[in-house]
């Protein structure tokens, strides 16, 4: 499939891996928007949060359960921001579900 994050998950494109198991991959963003900026993706291709199916419940739960552990491993003990851009208005540019985990700077609100 012509999907850049599937290719990263399959190691056809290199990435700087921060965490990996059989279901998910976490790697550093190419254009970091914070001192720590990683992306957490399911290895299974899901185009966006809108495309999540009932059968993906456990996978989504696993991603959420791993967030604090990945954050801790990256030294984000002071907090972090988890972002999912969905669809056109969400400014999703890569059509493979991913969560941005950002930290090591004070975030502002509202976001852009």
Tokens 């949060």, residue located: 49
CB-based contact 96:5 (threshold 8 Å):
yes
Report yes or no: 47 and 93 within 8 Å, Cβ to Cβ. Answer: no
Nearer Cβ to ligand AMP (91/109): 91
Among residues 93, 110, 111, 112, the one that binds ligand AMP under rule CB under 6 A: 93
Residue showing tokens 């993906």: 56
Contact (CB, 8 A) for 34 and 28: no
Q: Does 77 bind ligand AMP (CB under 6 A)?
A: no
Q: Among residue numbers 12 through 41, which ones bind ligand AMP (CB under 6 A)?
A: 13, 15, 29-31, 39
Residue 96 near which of Zn ion, ligand AMP, none (CB within 5-8 Å, type-dependent): Zn ion
Name residues contacting Zn ion, limited to 51-110 (CB under 5 A): 96
Residue 30 binds which one of Zn ion, ligand AMP, none, with CB within 5 to 8 A depending on kind?
Answer: ligand AMP
Pairing of strands 24-28, 36-42: antiparallel
């Amino acid at each position: 499939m012509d999907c850049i994050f599937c290719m990263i998950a399959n190691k056809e494109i290199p990435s700087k891996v921060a965490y990996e198991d059989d279901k998910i991959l976490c790697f550093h963003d190419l254009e970091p928007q914070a001192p720590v900026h990683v992306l957490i993706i399911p290895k299974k291709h899901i185009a966006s949060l809108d495309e999540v199916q009932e059968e993906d419940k456990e996978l989504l739960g696993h991603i959420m359960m791993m967030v604090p552990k990945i954050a801790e491993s990256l030294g984000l003990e002071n907090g972090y921001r988890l972002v999912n851009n969905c669809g056109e208005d969400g400014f999703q540019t890569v059509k493979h579900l991913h969560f941005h985990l950002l930290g090591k700077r004070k975030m502002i609100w509202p976001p852009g």
